[in-house]
Structure 1
Amino acid sequence: MTIDLTSLSVRELNQLIRTAEQTRKALVSRPPAEKVKKQLTALARKAGYTIEEVFGEGTDGGAAPRTRRRKLPKVAIKYRDPENRRYTWTGRGKMPRWLASKVRFGQDPVDFLVPGVAKLTPKAAPANPKRKLFKQG
């Protein structure tokens, strides 16, 4: 780790030295992590627990346990480029570049639907349709 000390003023250098000395004292005065880990394990064992029961399953030194993500099903291809069959899209997520460029030049996404497999998804109705107000009177 290198710090450019030439750009610091005398006041900033003194402050940096004080902060470094305080941090060093704090680090030197505390016991090593392995020693604390052994003490915690012994204390838990004395009380009749295991470390896993106290801190939860899958703990490795206090790290939070990982949650597993739900496995998503495969989705059928909905759009395919007739010029390059490798370019496909399931219709989910952001529109791919190849299809966006074709749409920008005037083609319709319906032209790229895979025949027999894909159907055009109808647009969802708006959540709050605009209401018409009529004056009474």
Structure 2
Amino acid sequence: MDISGLSLTELRRLQTRIEAEIRRRSDTARKELLKRMQKLAAEHGMSLADVLGQESEKPAAPARKTPPKALAQPARKAAKPASVIKFRHPENTAIGWTGHGRKPQWVIDWLAQGKALEDLRASTEAAA
């Protein structure tokens, strides 16, 4: 079959027909194989489920191209606990810093005055 003379539309139609035929033949082959396996197991006095070690004799579901919606969504990470405030602003105790990341300007100013960072440490009772 020479496909070089076909238009793009004709090629796409042909591709669709080919994919449908592949699916049909694959399903037919799977069903025939299942019947042959069941017959062979019966000849030995067993069911296919016995041979496969399964509880029921249901044929396996065909593979999906796309996963079900429940499986398609990425797993969510557990939420991180809120960071604990380790240092408080000397004048406004509502402002705090965890000690991680960039130092806030008020901490930089405090240290520039020659004062110790430990003087800004939040009390453990206030954190609880």
> What TM-score do you get using the length of structure 1 for normalisation?
0.39
Which structure is higher in helix share?
Answer: 2
Structure number, greater radius of gyration: 2
